[in-house]
């Protein structure tokens, strides 16, 4: 067996984070020496992991099941049996292990330390490497003008109506940062991602009705819907705040292109707007300004991300979203 420190450096290297001191500490906090050895030997079946380890297949299976519950391994059925592989990158390590049901507070605090000390610089590197952001904002369904064409995968209501199964999980960002009191059990997983989260014990299965009620709860709490930035595909609907979220502060404060806008932009009807100001604090992106002399709200089209949260609170029905980007804006 290799020395402890070396083992955890190798695990960090396996997710391309060998230079990160905090990622090494995170691995040391979640995986014991034998678990770390097994992770380094993956991908593998339980039988091959047991071979020469001094553990029976049953003992090895119990260890691997524990690693699966922790979010460190994923499984795939093959003709040779179930093959286990380690989380492949920092995003899987982050998203899966923060939801480890038995995670001690110290583990979550260590992740928050990573987000504060290392994540901003890492985000800058990732932003330069990726051709397009991996996530995209999806508007509040009712906020889009009814004359606009909305594709099925850019309509949160239709995403959940067309998906089976659906599960709700905790928001990993608010779980570790707890900087605001917005809902935590609010992120929706759909299809395979939902089945995985229920199987692992990190998600709670919900029906379409409850999923839609959760979307409404998110909108009322001022959370922005975010999904995968790929046409025709959605594995999750994140509901993001502007303080705990790993992405929005990078986008808002550092101007990093970490999340694409929706294809829609906000329009305020000058005849109907009374300038009450209710929508102002709903906008995370600084796109709204109250023109006091004219008594109405104005929109900076460049800054608007097309989330539709301002529409949710407008008592006059003065806000609607219209198409401002072509359909091919969403990567295929
Ligand atoms: S990306 Fe948004 S919803 Fe998803 S975990 Fe982070 S804050 Fe929560
Ligand atoms: S103005 Fe702000 S709150 Fe309204 S849709 Fe645009 S980004 Fe969202
Ligand atoms: S909430 Fe509606 S009426 Fe009030 S300022 Fe905003 S757009 Fe105008």
| Amino acid 233: pLDDT | 75
For the CA atoms of 141, 143, 145, 146, the dihedral, rounded to the nearest 10 degrees, stands at 40
Q: Which residues contact 100 (CB under 8 A, 6 or more apart)?
A: 30, 69, 70, 71, 107, 202
Handedness of CA 116, 121, 124, 126 (dihedral sign): negative
Ligand 2 within 6 A of CB of 100: no
Nearest to 238 by CA among 156, 145, 126: 156
Domains in the chain, start-ordered, CATH in brackets? Answer: 4-117 (1.10.10), 129-329 (no CATH)
pLDDT of residue 134: 94
Instruction: Determine the Cα–Cα distance for residues 176 and 172; give it in Å rounded to an integer.
Output: 6
244 CA closest ligand 1 atom index = 7
Nearest CA to ligand 2 atom 8: 307
> Is the Cβ–Cβ distance between 268 and 296 less than 8 Å?
yes
Q: How much is the pLDDT for 2?
A: 63
Indicate the top mutation candidate among 252, 262, 282, 310 to test ligand 2's pocket, ranked by most ligand atoms within 8 A of CB: 310
List the residue whose alpha carbon is closest to atom 2 of ligand 2: 283
Q: Would you write out the chain's pLDDT as a tens digit for each of its 332 residues?
A: 567 789 999 999 999 999 999 999 999 999 999 999 999 999 999 999 999 888 999 999 999 999 999 999 999 999 989 999 999 999 999 999 999 999 999 999 999 999 999 999 999 999 999 999 999 999 999 999 999 999 888 999 999 999 999 999 999 999 999 999 999 999 999 999 999 999 999 999 999 999 999 999 999 999 999 999 999 878 899 999 999 999 999 999 999 999 999 999 999 999 999 999 999 999 999 999 999 999 999 999 999 999 999 999 999 999 999 999 999 999 98
CB contact at 8 A, 291 and 298: yes
Q: In sequence order, which residues have a C-beta less than 8 Å from that of residue 260 and are 6 or more positions away?
A: 132, 133, 135, 136, 137, 229, 329, 330
Ligand 1 first shell, C-beta below 6 A: 171-174, 187, 238-241, 244-247
3-state helix, strand, coil in the chain (%, to 5): 40, 20, 40
Q: Which pTM was predicted?
A: 0.94
**In terms of Cα–Cα distance, which of 232, 226, 263 is closest to 153?**
232
- Closest-CA residue to 262 (of 306, 231, 315, 292): 306
CA–CA separation, 256 and 133 (whole Å): 10
Q: Separation of 290 CA from ligand 3 center, angstroms? A: 9
Q: Which ligand is nearest to the CA of 309?
A: 2
- For 255, half-sphere exposure in the C-beta direction (CA atoms, 13 angstrom radius) is 2
Distant-in-sequence, close-in-space partners of 264: CB < 8 Å, separation ≥ 6: 139, 143, 144, 148, 306, 308, 321, 322, 323, 324, 325
Phi and psi of 84, rounded to 5°? -105, 135
Q: Are 318 and 272 in contact (CB under 8 A)?
A: yes
């Amino acid at each position: 067996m290799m020395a402890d420190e070396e083992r955890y450096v190798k695990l960090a290297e396996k997710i391309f984070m060998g230079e990160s001191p905090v990622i090494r500490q995170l691995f040391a906090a979640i995986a014991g020496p034998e678990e770390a050895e097994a992770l380094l030997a993956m991908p593998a079946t339980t039988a091959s992991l047991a071979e020469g380890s001094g553990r029976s297949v049953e003992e090895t299976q119990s260890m691997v099941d524990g690693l699966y519950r922790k979010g460190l391994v994923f499984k795939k059925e093959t003709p040779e049996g179930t093959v286990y592989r380690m989380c492949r990158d920092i995003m899987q390590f982050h998203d899966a292990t923060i939801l480890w049901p038995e995670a001690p507070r110290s583990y979550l605090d260590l992740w928050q330390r990573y987000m504060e000390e290392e994540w901003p610089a890492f985000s800058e590197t990732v932003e330069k490497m990726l051709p397009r952001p991996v996530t995209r904002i999806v508007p509040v369904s009712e906020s889009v003008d009814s004359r606009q064409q909305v594709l099925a995968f850019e309509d949160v209501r239709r995403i959940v109506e067309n998906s089976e199964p659906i599960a709700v999980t905790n928001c990993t960002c608010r779980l570790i940062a707890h900087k605001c009191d917005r809902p935590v059990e609010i992120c929706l997983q759909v299809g395979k991602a939902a089945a995985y989260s229920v199987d692992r014990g990190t998600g709670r299965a919900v029906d379409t009705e409850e999923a839609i009620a959760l979307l409404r709860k998110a909108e009322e709490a001022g959370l922005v819907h975010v999904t995968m930035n790929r046409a025709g595909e959605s594995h999750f609907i994140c509901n993001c705040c502007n303080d705990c979220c790993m992405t929005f502060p990078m986008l808002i404060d550092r101007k990093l292109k970490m999340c694409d806008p929706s294809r829609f932009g906000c329009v305020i009807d000058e005849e109907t707007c009374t300038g009450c100001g209710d929508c102002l604090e709903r906008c995370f992106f600084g796109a709204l300004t109250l023109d006091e002399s004219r008594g109405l709200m104005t929109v900076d089209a460049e800054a608007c991300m097309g989330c539709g949260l301002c529409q949710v609170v407008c008592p006059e029905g003065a806000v609607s979203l219209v198409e401002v980007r072509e359909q091919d804006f969403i990567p295929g």
